[in-house]
Every structure is written in C-alpha cells, then in structure tokens.
C-alpha cells in the first residue's frame, strides 16, 4: 500500500520567490495536515484540511496558504519566501480528523 507521498523531495529557492509543495494522502484518507519542522524543533502545525475545507490553522503569516482537491490531495503555497522559511515541510493524512496521522517523507526547502 502506498503511504503519504510528497513532492518534490528537495527544493532550493531564493528570497522573494514563491513555492508550491504537493501531498497525496493515503487512499481513503480525507484529512490532510501540513507542518513546518526546523532543525532541532518539533513540527509546527500550519494547516489542516478535511473534505476540502480548512479545519484548523496555526500561527503562520498569510504568505502561507493551502488547498485540498476533490481527490483529497493538497498543495501548500508559500509566497515572498524568507530565509526563515527554510525547513522540512511535512504532510500528514488521517481518518478521521487528526487522530493517528501518517506522515509523508517531507519536502526539504532551502531559501537562499
């Protein structure tokens, strides 16, 4: 069975650019959450989507946005990148909402 997949695995951008990260949940999972993990810290909650609607939002600026598609895959968009946005971005899927989340391998974003 395929687990949660994320693309790309690595990404290098420069300040001011925007980035789109993609996540495909486990088949049958309708909830997707996004997290940012910087070195030495635990993952920080960014968004949660369930049935294509935003169900939760962490303390991140409006430069961060996300959406969920009819097939339950999701995109995380970050505009006007800052050096501090360099991190591992993790996606997790679950049924039902939040409980027992399964994480993808993450996208390593480096902002130069």
Partner 1 sequence: EDKVVQSPLSLVVHEGDTVTLNCSYEVTNFRSLLWYKQEKKAPTFLFMLTSSGIEKKSGRLSSILDKKELFSILNITATQTGDSAIYLCAVEYRDKIIFGKGTRLHILP
Rank residues 50 and 72 by Cβ distance to partner 1 and give the closer one.
50
Minimum CB separation of residue 56 from partner 1 in Å reads 3
Question: Shortest gap between Cβ of 1 and partner 1 (angstroms)?
Answer: 15
- Name 67's bridge partners: 75
How many whole angstroms from its chain centre is CA 77?
A: 9
Residues that bind partner 1 (CB under 8 A): 4, 33, 35, 40-45, 48, 55-58, 88, 90, 97-106
CA angle 51, 108, 5 (to 5 degrees): 40
Decide: residue 95, CB within 10 A, 0-12 exposed, 13-18 middle, 19+ buried: middle
CB of 6 to partner 1, least distance (A): 9
- Indicate the residue among 8 and 80 with the shorter CB distance to partner 1: 8
């Amino acid at each position: 069975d395929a687990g949660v997949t994320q693309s790309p695995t690595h990404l290098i951008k420069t300040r001011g650019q925007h980035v789109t990260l993609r996540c495909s949940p486990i088949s049958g999972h309708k909830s997707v959450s996004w997290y940012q993990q910087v070195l030495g810290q635990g993952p920080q909650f960014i968004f949660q989507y369930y049935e294509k609607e935003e169900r939760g939002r962490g303390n991140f600026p409006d430069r961060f946005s996300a959406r969920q598609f009819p097939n339950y895959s999701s995109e995380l968009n970050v505009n006007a990148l800052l050096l501090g946005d360099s991190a591992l971005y993790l996606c997790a899927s679950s049924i039902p909402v939040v409980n027992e989340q399964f994480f993808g391998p993450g996208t390593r974003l480096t902002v130069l």
